[in-house]
Amino acid sequence: MEFRDTPAQAAFRAEVRTFIEQELPAAFRERHPEWGLFNVGREGRFPLDALGQWRRALVSRGWIVPAWPKQYGGAGLTVVEQFIFNEEMAVQGAPQLRGIGGGWAGPTILLYGTDGQKRRFLPGILSGEEIWCQGFSEPGAGSDLAALQTRAVRDGDVYVVNGQKIWTSLAHRARWMILLARTDPDAPKHKGISYFLLDMKLPGITIRPLVNMLGSHEFNEVFFEEVRVPADCLLGEENRGWYMAATTLDFERSNIATSVSMRRIADDMIDWACAHRRGLPPLVRYELAERLLETEVARLMSYRIVSMQARGLIPNREASVAKFYVSELDQRLARTGMQMLGLYGQVALEDGYAPLEGRVPRHYMHAVSSTIGGGTSEIQRGIIAMRGLGMPRG
């Protein structure tokens, strides 16, 4: 694992850093981003004009989707260059604005889509005009995703879809969905699934909000009743959707933005403690020190993953180790912050009475989902056991 940049990489890092310093709108610098694993780069707290200005600046460099080929609006960055870009963006708290469209749907369409699908969908992803959501998890198929039961039955030039998805982020705002549905119920469960690009305006789709304990509407239930999806919205081959979904979930596995954000959380808590709590109990001081060290471990895991990718290796178990570690660390950081604040940890409003603008209790409530979303800690343990330690499936 090489920690030092080559001269070319150092020059690129300096270019990204200068770009952010010159182009990032003041609105992003004046308001601290939310904390936590699932709050990295969330843009909903910022003015639309600032978001538009920042998006145009990124698009001008191909940096909305930096790893995409240049002919599709990207910058054609290498794995290491993309890692450097993500790291610098995270260090300066600059949102990347990719979302599910740029982060998952677009790269999968690039790999498996027809020329017509690329022409139809990639420009809207790049411009931000079309928001995407992810229709994978179901009430009985979350951790065991291959057990999904939503059906898509071919009927001439359409597929008729019936079923339900859950925990669908931004479905209430999305124009399109990447949808997994079972097209062959008689095949082994991993081999009868297909991948669709679903128009969320089609008749028969019902969206119900799932409001979390923060009072935030991010997740949704989505119901499909006789939804007629055009056959040209099938991505790739019928019944090969599971393998394309695995590709979708593989993109940007280094998690460097998450590692950097966790270091910022630890630094913020330590700075506040030094300024306001000189009589902090020894146990909390020790915990703050441990959390700081653990964020460095998370960063080193990210470096290991990208070093493997740069050598053409697939960091499968390593990515699961990193995901498991940062999910659990997110919750430990939240608990330490609450212990540090004592009774002030109950003040979550952004007013003059809340330490750290109320970010600690909001982080604590949101961190409940860290070990669930993106593959539960139990699932990650199973992957590590089987693919990392060679243990039998049990």
Active-site annotation, residues: 252
In the predicted model, is pLDDT for residue 242 greater than 70?
yes
The amino acid that residue 279 corresponds to is: G
Q: For residues 302 and 235, is the Cβ–Cβ distance under 8 A?
A: no
pLDDT tens, position by position, 186-195 = 999 899 999 9
- Whose tokens are 């979550």? That residue is 348
pLDDT tens, position by position, 68-91 = 999 999 999 998 999 999 999 988
What Rg, from alpha-carbon coordinates, does the chain have? 22
- Of the spans 123-132, 158-167, 381-390, which averages the highest pLDDT? 158-167
Structural domains of the chain sorted by starting position, each given as residue range(s) with its CATH number in brackets:
7-127 (1.10.540.10), 132-240 (2.40.110.10), 250-388 (1.20.140.10)
Cα–Cα distance for residue pair 12/17, rounded to 1 Å: 9
Q: Which residues pair with 194 in a beta bridge?
A: 181
Q: How confident is the model at residue 43 (pLDDT cuts 50, 70, 90)?
A: very low
pTM attached to this predicted model: 0.87
Q: Which residues pair with 178 in a beta bridge?
A: 134, 197
Q: Report CA 170 to chain centroid distance, whole Å.
A: 13
Q: Are strands 176-182 and 132-135 parallel, antiparallel or unpaired?
A: parallel
Residue 143 or 308, more confident? 308
Residue 386 or 118, more confident? 118
DSSP letter, residue 170: T
Tokens found for residue 126: 């790049």
